[in-house]
Structure 1
């Protein structure tokens, strides 16, 4: 379990920038969809 946690931690650090970009795009997409209403 420790090894898995360490692996996930390293992986999350690697994907941190990608996740932030994805979240930003998701927020923008959600706001634009709500604007259509």
Structure 2
């Protein structure tokens, strides 16, 4: 048994979202957004 917190659920969803059936993606509509990470490097 594994207990997932909200971050785990979202990480897994983001990893497989493109492979989900169209019906599932319509139920969970996500949009890709690009942001700059000002703390990097």
Which of these two proteins has the greater Rg computed from alpha carbons? 1
Normalization by structure 2: what TM-score? 0.39
The one of the two structures with greater contact order (alpha-carbon pairs below 8 A, sep at least 6) is 2
Normalization by structure 1: what TM-score? 0.42
Which structure has more helix as a fraction of its residues?
1
